[in-house]
């Protein structure tokens, strides 16, 4: 067997999505070296459609860390959302209720900004690797082994390994079962997501509850839109022609007074829902971040925002650990990160269960949901709770 080529760095990061790249960037700002590896190519990541809403602090982080002011020029600031139910539409005004807003800026754009910023800084980021594995995680000299895109065996030796390798994390599985606890919830819902070429149907997002099930009208640009309707997790995409999709979307929003501007559909996919948390987020010299540690259902678009919040805390504790040589400071990471994760988990669960139609729903269940929605929009306290959760709590 040929010996691997060895690279030595302070932090080895498995996963070059937004969590891994943002962490690498934040560490570099503090003078800390890292190497990032990902088994996907840059093209693969750029062409995976993900959610599009950034909380206030996520935008601040991108701008303040010097990653992107493109978000401010090309993103769209949204001061509220429409909650549509019971035959009418009600605006929840985040700005007025909390002083905060959110930005519509797709995750793929966040990724491209980060990948460009890392490349411009000459960072060591390797996409398209194969056979990656992590080693010696309970020692102070862990490593990542992989075969790079040219077919050369590689080993990254470091002080800490970060598992930012997504919901099917390889790193997470290295934590022995006796040392972790996992929390799951499956939902009987999924979203049928489309991208279409059409003008915006409304200035802000519409979350629409109806007897036919939930629909979400989101956006991408002036000419490209993103929309979803609740479907069965086993839904067959091929059974849905463009005409059938438009008829279903229109029917769900028409009941609440909205009409959609239609156009050619360029993407169709079924997104399944799941809530998951892995605790703790640290095991020895391994630390997890983003989807590797937790996933949330998409209602409320918390996934990317949680990943960015994780790495903000992680960059801070890693800097202290590396500067002082004292691992103990890493103990804070799990508690600080999971406080926000569990609150977002609840927020996503709450939005999901308030807006979706269960397959066994009775008239009572539907009317109860409408009453809950009425309580939210009819009370300043209720609307403020939604606005605070949606725009994001401060990073702990």
Catalytic residue numbers, as ranges: 78, 207, 298, 302, 390
Residue 222: strand, helix, or coil = coil
Evaluate whether 34 touches 23 at the Cβ level (below 8 Å). Answer: yes
Residues 325 to 384 in contact with ligand PHB, rule: CB under 6 A = none
- Residue (32 or 215) nearer to ligand PHB, CB: 215
Q: Which one of the spans 5-13, 152-160, 294-302, 374-382 is the region binding ligand PHB (CB under 6 A)?
A: 294-302
Q: Which one of the spans 36-44, 65-73, 299-307, 357-365 is the region binding ligand PHB (CB under 6 A)?
A: 299-307
The closest of 31, 36, 99, 52 to 301, measured between CA atoms, is: 52
Residue in 80, 166, 290, 298 binding ligand PHB, rule: CB under 6 A? 298
* Shortest separation between residue 102's beta carbon and ligand PHB, angstroms: 9
* Shortest separation between residue 316's beta carbon and ligand PHB, angstroms: 28
Q: Lay out the site mask for ligand PHB across 28-57 (x = CB under 6 A, - = otherwise).
A: -----------------------xxx----
- Residue (51 or 65) nearer to ligand PHB, CB: 51
- Residue (31 or 203) nearer to ligand PHB, CB: 203
- Residue (51 or 288) nearer to ligand PHB, CB: 51
Residues 230 to 289 in contact with ligand PHB, rule: CB under 6 A = none
3-state secondary structure the chain: CCCCEEEECCEEEECCCHHHHHHHHHHHHCCCCEEEECCCCHHHHHCCCCCCEECHHHHHHHHHCCCCCHHHHHCEEECEEEEEECCEEEEEEHHHHHCCCEEECCHHHHHHHHHHHHHHCCCEEECCCEEEEEECCCCCCCEEEEECCCCCEEEEECCEEEECCCCCCCCHHHCCHHHCEEEEEEEEEEEEEEEEECCCCCCCCEEECCCCCCEEEEECCCCEEEEEEEECCCCCHHHCCHHHHHHHHHHHHHCCCCCCCCCCEEEEEEEEEEEEEEECCEECCEEECHHHCEECCCCCCCHHHHHHHHHHHHHHHHHHHHHHCCHHHHHHHHHHHHHHHHHHHHHHHHHHHHHCCCCCCCHHHHHHHHHHHHHHHHCHHHHHHHHHHHHCCCCC
* Shortest separation between residue 51's beta carbon and ligand PHB, angstroms: 4
* Shortest separation between residue 77's beta carbon and ligand PHB, angstroms: 14
* Shortest separation between residue 81's beta carbon and ligand PHB, angstroms: 9
* Shortest separation between residue 70's beta carbon and ligand PHB, angstroms: 17
The two tokens of residue 2 are 């040929």
- With CB under 6 A as the rule, give the number of residues binding ligand PHB: 11
Neighbours of 255 (CB within 10 A): 19
Based on the shown chain and the rule CB under 6 A, indicate whether residue 299 belongs to the binding site for ligand PHB: yes
Residue in 156, 175, 301, 313 binding ligand PHB, rule: CB under 6 A? 301
* Shortest separation between residue 173's beta carbon and ligand PHB, angstroms: 28
- Residue (163 or 300) nearer to ligand PHB, CB: 300
Q: Which one of the spans 149-157, 171-179, 180-188, 296-304 is the region binding ligand PHB (CB under 6 A)?
A: 296-304
Q: Which one of the spans 164-172, 242-250, 293-301, 339-347 is the region binding ligand PHB (CB under 6 A)?
A: 293-301
Q: Could you give phi then psi for residue 46, rounded to 5 degrees?
A: -65, -25
- Residue (160 or 347) nearer to ligand PHB, CB: 347
Q: Could you give phi then psi for residue 112, rounded to 5 degrees?
A: -65, -40
Q: Which residues pair with 93 in a beta bridge?
A: 80
Residues 202 to 241 in contact with ligand PHB, rule: CB under 6 A = 205, 216, 218, 226
- Residue (16 or 193) nearer to ligand PHB, CB: 193
Residues that bind ligand PHB (CB under 6 A): 51-53, 205, 216, 218, 226, 298-301
């Amino acid at each position: 067997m040929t010996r691997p080529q060895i690279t030595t760095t302070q932090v080895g990061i498995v996963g070059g999505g937004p969590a891994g790249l943002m962490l690498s960037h934040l560490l570099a700002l503090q003078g800390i070296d890292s190497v990032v590896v990902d088994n996907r190519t840059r093209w693969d990541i750029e062409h995976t459609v993900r959610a599009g809403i950034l909380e206030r602090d996520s935008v601040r982080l991108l701008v303040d860390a010097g990653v992107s002011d493109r978000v401010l020029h090309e993103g769209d600031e949204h001061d509220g959302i429409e909650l549509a139910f019971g035959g009418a539409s009600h605006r929840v005004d985040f700005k007025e209720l909390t002083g905060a807003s959110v930005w519509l800026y797709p995750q793929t754009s966040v990724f491209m900004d980060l990948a460009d910023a890392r490349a411009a800084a000459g960072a060591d980021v390797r996409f398209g690797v194969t056979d990656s594995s992590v080693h010696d995680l309970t020692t102070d000299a862990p490593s990542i082994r992989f075969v790079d895109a040219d077919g050369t065996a590689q080993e990254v030796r470091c002080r800490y390994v970060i598992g930012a390798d997504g919901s099917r994390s390889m790193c997470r599985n290295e934590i022995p079962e006796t040392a972790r606890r996992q929390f799951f919830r499956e939902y009987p819902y999924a979203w049928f997501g489309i991208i279409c070429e059409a003008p915006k149907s409304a200035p802000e997002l519409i979350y629409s509850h109806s007897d036919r099930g939930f629909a979400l009208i989101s956006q991408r640009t002036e000419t490209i839109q993103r929309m979803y309707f609740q479907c069965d997790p086993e839904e067959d995409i091929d059974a849905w022609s463009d005409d059938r999709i438009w008829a279903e979307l229109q029917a769900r929003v028409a009941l609440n007074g909205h009409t959609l501007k239609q156009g050619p559909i360029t993407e169709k996919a079924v997104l399944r829902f799941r809530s998951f948390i892995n605790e703790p987020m640290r095991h020895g010299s391994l630390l997890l971040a983003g989807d590797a540690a937790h996933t949330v259902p998409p209602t409320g678009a918390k996934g990317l925002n949680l990943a960015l919040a994780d790495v903000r805390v992680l960059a801070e504790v890693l800097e202290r650990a590396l500067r002082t040589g004292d691992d103990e400071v890493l103990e804070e990471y799990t508690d600080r990160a999971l406080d926000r994760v569990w609150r977002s988990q609840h927020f996503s669960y709450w939005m999901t269960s308030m807006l979706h139609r269960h397959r066994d729903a009775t008239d009572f269940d539907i009317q109860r949901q409408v009453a809950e929605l009425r309580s939210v929009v009819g009370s300043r306290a209720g609307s403020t709770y939604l606005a605070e959760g949606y725009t994001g709590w401060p990073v702990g």
